[in-house]
Amino acid sequence: MAAPLIAYTQVGKTFDGGRVVAVDDVSLEVAEGEFLAIVGGSGSGKTTLLRLANRLIETDSGSITVEGEDVRSVDPILLRRRIGYVFQSGGLFPHLTVTDNIGITPKLTGTPPAEISARVDELLDLVRLDRAEYRDRLPHELSGGQRQRVGVARALAAKPRIVLMDEPFGALDPLTRDALGDDFRELHRTLGLTTVMITHDMTEAILLADRIAVMGGGRLLAQGTPPELSESDDAYVGELLRTPRRQAERLGALLPRDGAA
């Protein structure tokens, strides 16, 4: 395998003076071009693990490398410009237009206004939002799905090789969620991204990701492709996989093959 683009080695993180163990001895590699989903229950350490990679949170023990460099040796601001980040609720600045939200990082790096404007148009096309209609809107004038599309465009603005996403589609209705997931998977492929996405939904993880990491109580319980995960003897991993399997079987029995669609 080529050198991993992100590598966690025996990483630990506690909060509240050691009382809360958020991430416990996690070693995990993400290969270039890979789409990795992190799945696990509430409080299992998913967000902490993700934020350690771009130093929104600092590790207590172990090490993390991004593109071969120990993240501690890189200025955190510069590191975050190299890594796109999509927040759960879009994380857009409420008082800034779509254009200004998407262009914020290029502006900070001194990109000329005309270039930023062209880049915003290109990104709106990429996330399939009509330029003329959406450029000047404020976040509260967008639907949840549209806000997430803008969040993805903003994460891609500085042309990162890596994108981290914290439950990006969690709060959306199933159809929007499905469409956005498919669109992002396509962007991941065409732009040659390396993506790490948190989701609490094992079905979404199986459908979108190449590999899945399962977290529980701060520990990495299992990792692998969906068939590899099926081999895991961890009871919680088995439980997580049973639901999509059961749903698929029931749907297969309930829906006619050439269904309404």
**CB 65 → ligand ATP: shortest distance, Å?**
21
Q: Buried (b) or exposed (e) across 62-86, using 16+ Cβ within 10 A?
A: bebbbbeeebeebeeeebbbbbbbb
**CB 37 → ligand ATP: shortest distance, Å?**
13
Distance from C-alpha of 40 to C-alpha of 201, rounded to nearest angstrom: 8
- Our CB check for ligand ATP shows the closer of 31 and 56 to be 56
- Our CB check for ligand ATP shows the closer of 44 and 105 to be 44
- Our CB check for ligand ATP shows the closer of 48 and 146 to be 48
- Our CB check for ligand ATP shows the closer of 71 and 187 to be 71
**CB 213 → ligand ATP: shortest distance, Å?**
12
**CB 75 → ligand ATP: shortest distance, Å?**
22
**CB 222 → ligand ATP: shortest distance, Å?**
15
Interface positions, 3-62, toward ligand ATP (CB under 6 A): 15-16, 20, 22, 40, 42-48
Q: How big is the CA angle at 160 (ends 82 and 196), to the nearest 5 degrees?
A: 95
**CB 170 → ligand ATP: shortest distance, Å?**
9
User: How many other CB atoms are found less than 10 A from the CB of residue 226?
Assistant: 17
List the one residue out of 21, 25, 24 whose CA is nearest residue 9.
25
215 contacts 46 by C-beta, under 8 angstroms: yes
Within 8 A by CB and 6+ apart from 89, the residues are 147, 171
238 contacts 246 by C-beta, under 8 angstroms: no
- Our CB check for ligand ATP shows the closer of 42 and 190 to be 42
List the one residue out of 27, 49, 51 whose CA is nearest residue 38.
49
**CB 260 → ligand ATP: shortest distance, Å?**
34
- Our CB check for ligand ATP shows the closer of 47 and 105 to be 47
Q: At 223, phi and psi to the nearest 5?
A: -150, 150
Kindly list the strands in the beta sheet with 211-216, ordered across the sheet, starting from the edge strand earlier in the chain.
Answer: 83-86, 162-166, 194-199, 35-40, 211-216, 219-224
Within 8 A by CB and 6+ apart from 228, the residues are none
Interface positions, 170-209, toward ligand ATP (CB under 6 A): 200
Q: Is there binding between residue 258 and ligand ATP (CB under 6 A)?
A: no
- Our CB check for ligand ATP shows the closer of 22 and 79 to be 22
Q: Site residues (CB under 6 A) for ligand ATP?
A: 15-16, 20, 22, 40, 42-48, 200
